Structure 1
Amino acid sequence: MKLLTISVPAYNEETMIVPLYERIVEVMNEVKETYTFELLFINDGSKDGTLDQMKALHKKDNRVVFVDLSRNYGKEIAMAAGFDYAKGDALVTMDADLQHPPEVILEMLKLWELGYEDVYAKRNRREGETWLKKATSKMYYRILQKVARIPVLPDAGDFRLLDRRCIEALKQMRETNRYTKGLYSWIGFKKIEVTFDAAPRYDGQSKWNYQSLINLALEGITSYTTFPLRLSTYSGFIVSAAAFIYMIYLFIKTLLFWGRYEWLSFTHDYYPIFRWRTTYQYRYHWGIFGTDFSGS
């Protein structure tokens, strides 16, 4: 019998732990003759009763296990902890808010049995999301596709089934600033998609505000692509070339056109009835070759 690990990072999801557990148990009971499972919760430094709910479920059902992180590291690190502690032949990673329907796991398992090693879930519709969030998401993926050498699958998030070979490959990547969506593409392996409709949150509010999403987007561009490094390199070449051209310009200007006045004398002659005459003599040095012009 094959073991399936279901990894669920959670931060302040006290009201979601039990409903999620019940849905997963209901789904996995349909394939209990073929698969056994472990439900691996990752408590990402929650400040509410999330950890207590995990402990209570663990006492009730030994298939429920949990990892308690020392602080809130963020979802990317929490998922990496799930990769490290998963014992299954395959792993499903999903969110705790039930926007990822557990029923999709059954379809993932069928495709895994056909030989696919990365079965990723792609959203058809985004219930409860504003048009602005949808538009900015599409724009971000369009930009990321252009600057990344290995394309990232748009609208394919972290809800997916990974074969043990994929898990071992991801465990070798120990970055602290992770962009896991990019790492899924980077490791390769045989991929296929399943589609689902993302439901509204079962309870509570999303922990992802616009600032968090912007930070994640910047993390994706800076950690997954070499675009910032290439941009800095090109900018450095342009600035250096412009500075060199300007230096040549100043040198030629000084060589050919630089000049200065040398005053030889300056006198005032005063006459009656408030009249005066000024007389001066000068020599003008043109260029550095010493050509002189005089006048008075």
Structure 2
Amino acid sequence: MQFSFIVPIYNDGYLVQSFCEEFKKAFQNYIEKEEIENDVELIFVNDGSKDNSINLLIENSKTYKFVKVIDLSRNFGQHIALSCGYEKATGNFVGMLNVDQQEPPSQLPILIDYLIQNNFDIVFGTFEERKTSFLNKTTSKLFSIILNYLTQNNTPSNVTTSRVMNRKFVDAYNKLTEKSRYLPGLETWLGFKHGFTPIIHTERKIGKSSYNFKKRILMALDTIVSFSDFPLKLIVGIGIFVALIGFGLTFFLLISKMFITDYQPGYTTTVSLITFLGGIQIMVIGFASIYIGRILKEVQNRPLYIINETYNFK
């Protein structure tokens, strides 16, 4: 197999048929063959969809010979669903993209050619402007900036979901064993040669993304804790800062009592200090508990995902 592409599905199976049509046209033109199933596989990973997505995926796997379907036993998350697809992919070149066609399948050959011509190991698409709402643009950019800072990552904020990797890169990724996964961070950690090239980014034609503001916040927290110990270092810094404030305040009260006036601490000052220090302590305990929970998750060493059924795999 020459090319494998992974597409995670969560409650958006209604987009699959039109996506498959566009994908087929794109690769018929690219490899100049009418039948593409011997050269290309399109692997959909159903990540515990709660609607009839799996039935729609099965129907399309019967219609299109190049379509394969993996049905996970429950929702494991997009990055784990993609990891499942990477492990099952057999192509010399492996890519990923979303089913919403905001980055059309017709752009994949651009990524493939750029990777081959420049001898890169992984190539990401980039866009000039995200075709989405102002809120999504703002939160996505802010999310990217904060994550890059906290995880010490340097991923550009205008990177698209679509990317293509060679076999060497995918094999290296498949050797990773951690249970909590943040793909951009892991892709950076793996090293190798990274490339970026512009591709078309369009508006979503049907439906809306399942990534609302709440999910973005939860994913940001999950990502930071999974991939960085920076919050723990930040907490140490806050602790030192608070200790210095406490030392300074104590020194001021002593000097005030000895040389200025017999200082009588007030109710407001006492309550404010207790509340402030109590909040810092709760935050420290909370972050430590999250990291301990992640250690437990790794020590349990449960499978990364569970497959319920596969379709069209030989």
Q: Say yes or no: TM over 0.5.
A: yes
* Higher radius of gyration, 1 or 2: 1
Q: Distance in 2 between matches of 1:44 and 1:163?
A: 25
Question: Aligned residue for 1:28?
Answer: 27
Structure 1 unmatched runs, 5+ = 251-296
Q: State the TM-score, normalizing by the size of structure 2.
A: 0.72
Q: State the TM-score, normalizing by the size of structure 1.
A: 0.76
- Identify which of structures 1 and 2 has the higher relative contact order when contacts are C-alpha pairs closer than 8 Å and 6+ apart: 2
Find the partner of 1:94 among 66, 87, 97. 97
Q: Distance in 1 between matches of 2:156 and 2:227?
A: 13
| Residue identity in the other structure for 2:236 | T
Q: Decide which moves more: 25-34 or 110-119.
A: 25-34
Q: Percent identical across equivalent pairs?
A: 28
Q: Would you say 1:105 and 2:108 are equivalent positions?
A: yes
Whether the aligned pair in 2 keeps the contact of 1:44 and 1:74 (CA below 8 Å) is yes
Q: Deviation string for 1:236-268 (max 9, x for gaps)? A: 445567778999999xxxxxxxxxxxxxxxxxx
Matched residue of 1:181: which SS?
helix
Q: Decide which moves more: 87-96 or 236-245.
A: 236-245
Q: Distance in 2 between matches of 1:57 and 1:190?
A: 36
Whether the aligned pair in 2 keeps the contact of 1:126 and 1:197 (CA below 8 Å) is no
Q: Would you say 1:219 and 2:218 are equivalent positions?
A: no
Aligned length: 255
Question: Aligned residue for 1:270?
Answer: none
- CA gap of 1:204–1:150, structure 2 versus 1, over 3 A, is closer
Whether the aligned pair in 1 keeps the contact of 2:102 and 2:204 (CA below 8 Å) is yes
Matched residue of 1:40: which SS?
strand
Q: Distance in 1 between matches of 2:146 and 2:110?
A: 31
Q: Distance in 1 between matches of 2:238 and 2:177?
A: 31
Q: Would you say 1:125 and 2:129 are equivalent positions?
A: yes
Of Structure 1 and Structure 2, which has the larger fraction of its residues in helix? 2
Q: Deviation string for 1:91-145 (max 9, x for gaps)? A: 1100011112111111112122221111101122222x22232223223333333
Q: Distance in 1 between matches of 2:62 and 2:133?
A: 40
CA drift of 1:57 comes to 2.2
Question: Aligned residue for 1:153?
Answer: 156
Q: Would you say 1:83 and 2:86 are equivalent positions?
A: yes
Question: Aligned residue for 2:137?
Answer: 134
Q: Distance in 2 between matches of 1:232 and 1:216?
A: 20
Matched residue of 1:5: which SS?
strand
RMSD: 2.9
Matched residue of 1:16: which SS?
helix
Question: Aligned residue for 1:5?
Answer: 4
Find the partner of 2:53 among 50, 55, 63. 50
Q: Distance in 2 between matches of 1:30 and 1:135?
A: 37
Matched residue of 2:39: which SS?
strand
